[in-house]
Amino acid sequence: MRCPFLREAQVKFCQASAFRKMIVRMSAHTDNERCSSPDYVNCPAAKQHHEELPSQSHCPFLQESLAQYCAAAAVSKFIPYSESLLSRCGNESHRYCELFLAIANPQTDSSVSSVKKGDANEDVVEGIVMPRRMAYSANHMWLDADDDGLYHVGIDAFLAGAIGRVERISFVTTYGVNRPATVLTVNGVDVQVVFPNRMLLTRTNAYLRANPERLTSEPYTAGWLFEGRDPGESSTEKSPNVSEGLIRDEKARRWMEQEVHHLSTFIHEQYSRREGLMMDGGSFSPGVALQLNRDEILRLFNEFFSPYANWRS
């Protein structure tokens, strides 16, 4: 499915110019245009490429083509059809575009998700939003597969809610066949988050390095981390399917319910160890990692968000 803001236009440009500036073709104004009249011979750009040609009614360097542009952008940037495959506008990846998100879904729940409450395409388990189209890894990362063979990877609302705020994001793997990995700085502590399966990485959400808060405020949309494809023949070693071992549907909902209760128990134990007091009841609050010291944060990530967390699933 292509982006609803994607538009098409017939454009023209000068092949003799050092810069390709595309202008929307408007047949009503060609009478006063030098390029579309015999007066093109007086154009400096055409003179530089002078050729012995018979007199013509328009400039031989005037080219026309079909282009695409984004109707949501403040400034229209025309992309030739020959380059449209490099754009995310023509496939389901447009769901992760900043412009699309700002217009299509302006109201977000900043605590856990950018998905509107009550959406029929999501579940809410113990306050944690879980879009149904996604599959989840045991260390709380999600995988979204579209019909065009593209994958997007990010952290789920459980992980986003537990850490609350990220100070810095560093991408460890950025291209090639790898397990998507990133280092998050949480309350001054560097922790690594790794998607368990390998994929052919094609893009990272570099925008998050300047605005890391989007990772936790909009984990399922603007906070995505990696884009990629199935390794296929590009891999030199046999790799499992990108979605192998991931959790879906009812199993994912039961798993998330267990994780919420497990984390609440874990936090009680950490506070009891620190304060020497027995604690019971209640559930963890958003941003609980910001209340923990370095050792407790490392224990938290080792227990719930390690790439080897699948032993518990």
Give me the residue spans of the domains in the chain. 6-86, 92-250
| CB contact at 8 A, 310 and 245 | yes
Beta strands across the sheet bearing 79-80:
23-24, 6-14, 62-70, 79-80
How would DSSP label each residue in 114-174? SSPTT-TTEEEETTEEEETT-EE-TTSEEEEE-TTS-EEEEE-HHHHHHH---SEEEES--
Q: Which helix (H) or strand (E) holds 14?
A: strand 6-14
* Domain 92-250 class in CATH: mainly beta
pLDDT tens over the chain, length 313 residues: 677 777 777 777 777 776 667 777 665 555 567 777 777 777 877 777 665 555 677 787 777 777 777 777 777 777 776 655 556 676 677 777 777 777 766 444 434 443 444 467 899 999 999 999 999 999 999 999 988 889 999 999 999 999 999 999 999 999 999 999 999 999 999 999 999 999 999 999 999 999 999 999 999 999 999 999 998 755 555 556 899 999 999 999 999 999 999 999 898 888 777 765 545 555 677 899 999 999 999 999 999 999 877 655 5
Please, what is the Cα angle at 176 between 171 and 179, to 5 degrees? 60
The reported pLDDT for the residue numbered 113 is 40
